[in-house]
Structure 1
Amino acid sequence: MTTTLDSNLYSVMNARKSVRVFDPNATIGKEEIAEMLKLATIAPSSSNLQSWSFIVFQDAELKKELKKIANNQAAVEDSSAVIAVLGNIDAYKKVEQIYTQNVAEGHMDDSIKDLTIASTNAVYPNMPREVRANIASFDAGLVSMQFMLIAKEKGYDTLPMGGFDKVKFAERFDLPGDQFPVVLIALGKAAAPAYGSSRLPLDEVVRFI
């Protein structure tokens, strides 16, 4: 059986491309960026721990500094804003806050909340740091893709950038020890068309078993 998804979703997915040249005169207000980020955080996350946070760069001088850290990619300086998506290795420490809010919003009862908090506190602190970092990176990828699709639906363009000095970034922008940068997302209006891109045939990347 073939199911049909909302055609607007398909349009947005197909229209979103990684833009390399941004209009340096285009601006996006703080409130609109905040709205997009709020929508993006509806994305799923491991154990609903939401192990992400964001730094939004709009200041021109800070973007010049960030450009040097990001291998002098022009999009950093020319885009309307750059969103740094961070992973949080110790996101489990907010489990009580998160699940108390779940109860308050009517998503679960207290008994499920208590069981989930106890389980999280029994498991996550004993995970190796590398495992928790991998979880946070995975969550950051989910929220980043969601943000880019939301931005495109609102008429904006994006460029995800993994090529930057993550150690220098953490030092320059005073990240606490439990946070690390995952990706930078340039946000703005395209000043030149994005390149199209091909995809490998499905039978090379999928096995049905």
Structure 2
Amino acid sequence: MSSTVSTDAVTIMRERHSVRHFDAAHRLSEHEIKELLELAGSAPSSWNLQHWKFVVFTDAAAKAKLLPIACDQKQVVDASATVAVLGDLQANRNAEAVYSPVIRAGLQDAYAGYASERILFSQIEEAYAVDASSPYRRDEAIRNASLAAMQLMLAAKAKGLDSGPMVGFDADAFVRAFHVPPRYIPVLLVAIGRAAKPARPTSRFPVEQTVVWNGFEPEEGDTPG
């Protein structure tokens, strides 16, 4: 596989399909995997806090350990690499590392649109100081890690590879088996490699069925907003 394989963005999006059957003989180098994950990490995130952590499975023994946790989905072991995408419940702790270098460098809009470093950091901390029962941290972790997962799959297709996302796994068992710190939650698995069989054909709703222009019409009995 050439590390420079690419095509236009529209073609990449249209040709990306979820593959279940991978060529077990195909290998990816550490450099190639890192290149894919670097691209995945260029995904957008709230406050640029980068709410993701990638656990990469390439070793046969580690894949075998993951297999029953992933409901025996064989792509876990056959893919060149299986990447567990985790979400960061404490992404506010990334703020200093994210913003201090650009603030020190005096870059334009270093405060991400805020009037000062103090206001920026205090708003981030305020958001993450929510009550423990609030879904905010979990929602943010899942939402932003999912953006990185999608970026990873598009990067794989741009490099001439195939991928398949999986949510059918035991998240609690994953945490126990691979000693995941409480800061992180498993969001999904992404198998990456070379397809041994084409992806199963799927259809998509026409855009007319999925788009609502300028809001929904009020239903009978609704109170006007």
TM-score by length of 2: 0.85
Measured after TM superposition, the shift of residue 16 of structure 1 is 0.7
> Counterpart of 1:4?
none
1:112 aligns with 2:113: no
Q: Note if contact 1:44-1:142 (Cα within 8 Å) is conserved in structure 2.
A: yes
Where do 5+ consecutive residues of structure 2 fail to align?
1-6, 215-225
Structure 2 letter corresponding to 1:36: L
> Counterpart of 1:132?
137
**Aligned residues: CA RMSD:** 1.6
Measured after TM superposition, the shift of residue 113 of structure 1 is 2.9
CA distance in 1: counterparts of 2:190 and 2:101, whole angstroms: 29
The alignment partner of 2:119 has SS state of helix
> Counterpart of 1:90?
90
> Counterpart of 2:221?
none
The alignment partner of 2:185 has SS state of strand
> Counterpart of 2:66?
66
CA distance in 2: counterparts of 1:87 and 1:127, whole angstroms: 19
Identity of aligned residues (%): 38
Measured after TM superposition, the shift of residue 185 of structure 1 is 0.4
Q: Note if contact 1:13-1:149 (Cα within 8 Å) is conserved in structure 2.
A: yes
CA distance in 2: counterparts of 1:134 and 1:118, whole angstroms: 20
The alignment partner of 2:204 has SS state of coil
Measured after TM superposition, the shift of residue 65 of structure 1 is 1.1
Moved more, 190-199 or 82-91: 190-199
Moved more, 194-203 or 74-83: 194-203
TM-score by length of 1: 0.92
Say if 1:202 and 1:109 are closer, same or farther in 2 by CA, change over 3 A: closer
Where do 5+ consecutive residues of structure 1 fail to align?
1-6
* Matched ranges for 1:1-209 at <5 A: 8-104=8-104, 106-109=107-110, 112-126=116-130, 128=132, 129-209=134-214
Measured after TM superposition, the shift of residue 49 of structure 1 is 1.1
CA distance in 1: counterparts of 2:213 and 2:49, whole angstroms: 32
Higher-Rg structure is 2
CA distance in 2: counterparts of 1:97 and 1:205, whole angstroms: 39
- Deviation string 1:53-77 (CA, Å, 9 cap, x unpaired) is 0100000011011011000001001
Measured after TM superposition, the shift of residue 19 of structure 1 is 0.7
Say if 1:107 and 1:194 are closer, same or farther in 2 by CA, change over 3 A: farther
Q: How many residues align?
A: 203
- Deviation string 1:87-137 (CA, Å, 9 cap, x unpaired) is 110110121221113325635347633321121112212254522111110
The alignment partner of 1:126 has SS state of coil
Structure 1 letter corresponding to 2:71: N
Q: Note if contact 1:99-1:117 (Cα within 8 Å) is conserved in structure 2.
A: no
Q: Note if contact 1:102-1:108 (Cα within 8 Å) is conserved in structure 2.
A: no
